[in-house]
Structure 1
Amino acid sequence: MTRLSVNVNKIATLRNSRGGNNPDLIQVALDCERFGAQGITVHPRPDERHIKYADVYALKAVIKTEFNIEGNPEGKFIDLVKEIKPHQVTLVPDPPGAITSNAGWNTLKYKDFLRDVIRDFKEEGIRVSLFVDPVEQMVEGAAEAGADRVELYTEPYAKNFLMNKDQAISEYIIAAKKAASLGLGLNAGHDLDLKNLKYLKDNIPNLDEVSIGHALICDALYFGLENTIQMYLKELN
């Protein structure tokens, strides 16, 4: 079974655009759980332009499914994660001004740095996933750094899916097999939607979890949140 974790960053973006608390981020996260999502993902950034650090504390107090915090492992983020102790932290090499995540870790170049950060999080009982491109060497580097899982960066897959889906998926299958051979859990995320999700799942049977935000929230504008979550779960299982 592949779990669906809903990234609620876009709800925070909409709320912040007018101030106040509409839409109510916490209520939306609880509704996602109630409608069948098996996890909630947030990606707080230093400028708090969507998820605020206060949101992370508020969500921790009420989330009953898996809580996944994404981000670049720098000072304030590290302190936040250690204090919150989510089920999973996903480390993403985002520069401060990034609009969205756009590349995975070079796990060979940053192996020593990642090993130290991963060790510190695991000592707190937090599962650690590294955001990586679908490249065997990067998966191997993640294992050598001590990660529990890798999250495959799927924007290239989504971008090429409609042109040639077999070619688009090929390197992901290879990376997924490498992760399995190394005993790593496997997540995926970025630009996954109702068009390309099932094909990814059907071709990567060891996929543990997908994190989906932008497309799911956009679909909810047309189909409603409850119906949309059920549609995504159907594609996965």
Structure 2
Amino acid sequence: MFAHKKMQVAFVLATTFLSLPTFADAPSEGYHVAYKDISKEVLRNTIGILTINSTAGKKAALQTYAREAGQYVPVALLEAADTTPISSFGYHPPVDSGTIENYRYPIIAATDSYVRIVYDPVKNLSGWINLIETGKRFSTSVTMLHDLEALKSFSIDIFSFTESGKRKFYKFPGTPDNHFLVEKSDMSYWFLTVMDMRKGYLQLGKPRFNDSTLELEGVDPIGWIRIRDDQGLLTFWIMLVDMC
């Protein structure tokens, strides 16, 4: 299934189940760490997101490396269950507690076939992993934050990386005085789609679906949000899409 189709299905399920208390255990994006506890260095340095899946059990391990003089030296074998992803998409609690389901980690550096991920965002612990090697143990997906087309495949969470529960939308990128506020209490802003990227801003819109077929008919533009705040901290996160 293509990523945009997965996003469509996930969006419809999420928005439908949100209004039905009996379906509170439907698939959703669950956060493993609160925004206030994430190291500011992690939020400042994140340039992408690694998503991993495994049905081999939570003892499935990530081989981490250190980079020394241009070489990658093995450091530790980390069981996925001992790591702390920012979030994961699936059932909470999981239907199968032995699986690793859409664990999402910040990427803070990338080169060749290696990415440096943060496996403990509170303590800011990180290590390099080899994507080819990791792909033998896990299903992996890399989403770089500068990749507009990749971001379009996801729903965007604009509230979890703020403590106020409010976000500014700008009419145009780079026009700080021309904005309006939206609040987390308004559910219509919970699941947004990336439309464009420019000058450190993302243009977001609300997906519009056919009431009968649930097919995506289009995206209604809202405005632009800043990708990073005045301190250079990341202000959004990807969510909902199952990358299995």
- TM-score over 0.5 for the pair: no
From the two aligned structures, give the one with the greater helix fraction: 1
TM-score by length of 1: 0.27
From the two aligned structures, give the one with the greater strand fraction: 2
Pair member with larger Rg: 2
